Amino acid sequence: MITMMRRGFLVLLLSLPLLAIAAAPLSPQQVVQETTSKLLQDLKANKEHYRNSPQAFYQAMDNILGPVVDADGISRSVMTVRYSRQASPAQMAKFQENFKQGLMQFYGNALLEYDNQDIKVLPMGVQRDPKRAEVKMEVTDNKGVVYPLSYTMVIKNNQWMMRNVIINGINVGKLFRDQFAEAMQKNGGNLDKVIDDWVEIIGKTREEHK
C-alpha cells in the first residue's frame, strides 16, 4: 500500500510540469498561428462544398474564429461610446450577433478566393504592454505580391483574443466605425434600423473594397 502511494505521488510530481505547460495561456503569436492553420486546413478540405454553400463556411469560421475574436470589444468599438450609451443590453446583444455574422461573411468571402497562397506569421517585436500585442503576417499571392496583415490582440479572460486587424493598410475596425456612423446619419439616428441592416452594410463594404 505504501509502495503504491509512493509511486502515485511520484507520478503526480512528474506530471506537474506538464500540467503547468498545458495550463499556460498561448502567446498572441501562437493564437494567430494555430487559428490560421486550423482555418486553412478546414478550408482546404471542404473548399468545393463551401463554395456551393457559403453559409456552411461562415458557420465553420465562427466555430474556429469565434473563441479567439473579442466580438464584444470590437462591436462596442465599432458602435463607439456615443451610440453604445444609447443602446439597451438587448440592442447590444443583437448588434454583437449581427456583427459576428457580418464579420464572418466579410472574411469568409475573401478566404473563399484563397488559392494556396503563402501565409507567414512574422516574429513578434518588443511587447511593451503585457495586455496588448501586435501580430504581423504576410500573405503572398500567386503573382508574388506580398500583402501585410496586422492583428491587434488583447488579453481577455486570461487568453489572447483578436480586437482589430489591418489588411494591406486598411484598418478594418476604423472602416466599420465609419460605416456605422454613416449608417446612423442616413437613418436619422435609428439604432434599431442600423443594427438590423448591419450584415447588409458589411456586405456592401466588402464589395467596395475588393
Q: What is the pLDDT at residue 3?
A: 43
**Cα→Cα distances 46→21, 24, 42, 105, Å:** 33, 32, 6, 17
Would the pLDDT of 177 be above 90?
Answer: yes
Q: What is the pLDDT at residue 160?
A: 95
Report the CATH number at residue 191. 3.10.450.710
Domain extent, residue 95, equals: 28-204
Contact call for residues 199 and 192 (beta carbons, < 8 A): no
Contact call for residues 26 and 34 (beta carbons, < 8 A): yes
Summarised one tens digit per residue, pLDDT across range 4-17 is 433 433 333 333 33
Is 33 strand, coil or helix? helix
Q: What is the pLDDT at residue 21?
A: 36
Contact call for residues 71 and 164 (beta carbons, < 8 A): no
Would the pLDDT of 22 be above 80?
Answer: no
Instruction: With respect to residue 167, please indicate whether it lies within any of the assigned structural domains.
Output: yes
Instruction: Measure the CA–CA gap between 11 and 14, rounded to whole angstroms.
Output: 5
Instruction: With respect to residue 5, please indicate whether it lies within any of the assigned structural domains.
Output: no
Predicted TM-score (pTM) of the model is 0.79
Helix, strand, coil share of the chain (percent; to 5): 60, 15, 20
Number of domains in the chain: 1
Summarised one tens digit per residue, pLDDT across range 122-145 is 988 888 888 999 999 988 877 888
